[in-house]
Amino acid sequence: MMPFDNILFRGIDQEDCIRMVTCFNAERRRYKAGTFIAEFGDFTDRLGIILSGNVVIVRYDINGVRTIIESVENGGVFGTFFTYNILRRNSVEVIAEKDCEVMFVHRNEITKRCENACLCHSQVVENLLKIMSENIVRLNQRIDVLSQRSIEDRLISYLEIIEDKTPEGKTPQIPFSTTALSDYLCVNRSALQRQISKMKQAGTLTISKRKFRLNISHDDHNVS
């Protein structure tokens, strides 16, 4: 599989994409679900492109408490180059959430001056800047979710973000298991399950496996 539909290579035809992947000396690897992929402290000079499957970015604090920072799905890109500032007292790891294939590219291969001044290389650099901007938006959304005081409000805020990103005509789907979702929302798993059950009984949330529908208006949420 080649990354023709990947955001980093958006706007570049297949022939140029194949040539650039070769020029970048890209490395492709496959990982089983649950497999450790990389620790960000040792990953400062590369970025990873998800060709299939998805990964999660996980932080462990000094007490070993786990927090899921982000889920990166098929077509996404991750790397400390444009995403996170790693503190020495924290450990941030990339873990395969599902079986996946990742292509790694050294950042200097992308940011170095192209001798031929080719348009496709300029397009990749432009796409990289767009990725950085989109990551800032996602991190701001995460701050908004975690700023909510109650488990219900955190859950609703996050589900609303997923709904907004879901293409019209498709059913929104949570990218995490319940355990992983509690790690992402920074709440107790049992308390989260109780809140989900309460919302289902109240009719404000319909959920089947990971697919869901919120039966609540934005006005109702704001009032609460």
Domains of the chain: 7-137 (2.60.120.10), 148-223 (1.10.10.10)
Per DSSP, 42 falls in state G
For residue 91, the model assigns a pLDDT of 79
pLDDT in tens, the chain (224 residues): 555 567 788 888 888 888 788 878 888 999 999 999 988 766 667 888 898 899 998 988 888 888 888 888 888 888 865 555 555 556 788 999 989 999 898 877 777 766 665 678 788 888 888 888 888 888 889 899 999 999 999 999 999 999 999 998 899 999 888 999 999 999 999 999 999 999 999 999 999 989 999 997 655 555 44
Which one-letter amino acid corresponds to residue 168? E
Question: How far apart are the C-alpha atoms of 206 and 214, rounded to whole Å?
Answer: 6
- In the chain, which residue ranges form alpha helices assigned H by DSSP? 14-23, 107-111, 119-146, 151-165, 178-185, 189-202, 218-223
CA 17 vs. chain centroid, Å, equals 23
In the prediction, which pLDDT does 126 show? 85
The amino acid occupying position 87 is: L
Residues 6 or more apart from 12 whose CB is under 8 A from it? Answer: 20, 120, 123, 124
What pTM was estimated for this model as a whole?
A: 0.75
* pLDDT reported for residue 26: 85
